[in-house]
Amino acid sequence: MAQSDFDAAPILVLGANGKTGRRVAERLRAQGHDVRACARSTQPRFDWNDRATWRAALAGVKHAYVTYQPDLAIPGALDTVSAFFDAARASGTERIVLLSGRGEEEARAAEEALQRSGASWTILRCSWFMQNFSESFLLDPIREGTLALPVGDIKEPFVDAEDIADAAVAALTQPGHENRLYELTGPQAISFGEALECIAQASRRELRLVPVPPDAFRAGLLEAGVSEPETDLILYLFTTVLDGRNATPADGVRLALHREARSFEDYARRTAASGVWDAL
């Protein structure tokens, strides 16, 4: 495909309201690209559970950033994303950048489906986002001052969603990322307690981490209004994936972007300055 053809084709960004999709779309627009950012609330509408919405989202698209909601680990995800890859190829999509899960067998199966699809692929394999502390289910407990979690001292090299977005944009718009798999992590593995201490220092607040049994944690999420499927997914991530399998930092950010990954301290300083962690 000629460069002029690529410049004229919209880049599809799925999960346009999510932590990474929103950032990817913003970066692409800032570079002057035609972006088709899609979600269930957009026009055109995109819904993983309504395959009739896929055609309009894919029309004329050459490159796509794919995030599956709520997670590639849920039952049925593999069949759905495999069908989407087939639909994308049939529609003329040439390059697909997939956000995948680190340490998840189900996500590996989705990666393999993409690799078999015939598309030029880039896989961004990630686990816990730093932004889970500021843009997700951990935010309100931090604002209240107490974070009750079913965790021990397992360490996780939390990855900054800004790094994920930078890598995705590079893979969508630059040569050299074709058929590459990048494991994206932060530069250092830290425990949830150390992460909360870092947030406390940056936000100048007293915060405490309270270990709780998984059943009590699940009940608390449901009481807080988190849906049952999302609650089950969160519990899976805490009790299955957060077992030390992902504790070793990877070098995917450096390989993809030729720089070091952003640190949790940098994330905490930036985020604290926004006021999002101020006490309720």
Query: pLDDT tens, 47-61?
Result: 999 999 999 999 999
CATH number of the domain that 252 lies in? 3.40.50.720
Parallel, antiparallel or unpaired: strands 63-66 and 95-101? parallel
Per the structure, the count of domains in the chain is: 1
Question: Would the pTM of this model clear 0.85, i.e. be above it?
Answer: yes
Cβ 272 vs Cβ 203: under 8 Å: yes
Q: Which parts of the chain sit beneath pLDDT 50?
A: 1-6
Instruction: Residue 39: name the closest of 71, 70, 13, 77 by CA.
Output: 13
Residue 20 resides in a domain: yes
pLDDT (0 to 100) of residue 129: 97
- In which domain, by residue range, is 98 found? 3-127+160-184+248-261
Residue 22 resides in a domain: yes
pLDDT (0 to 100) of residue 52: 98
Residue 174 resides in a domain: yes
Residue 254 resides in a domain: yes
pLDDT (0 to 100) of residue 246: 96
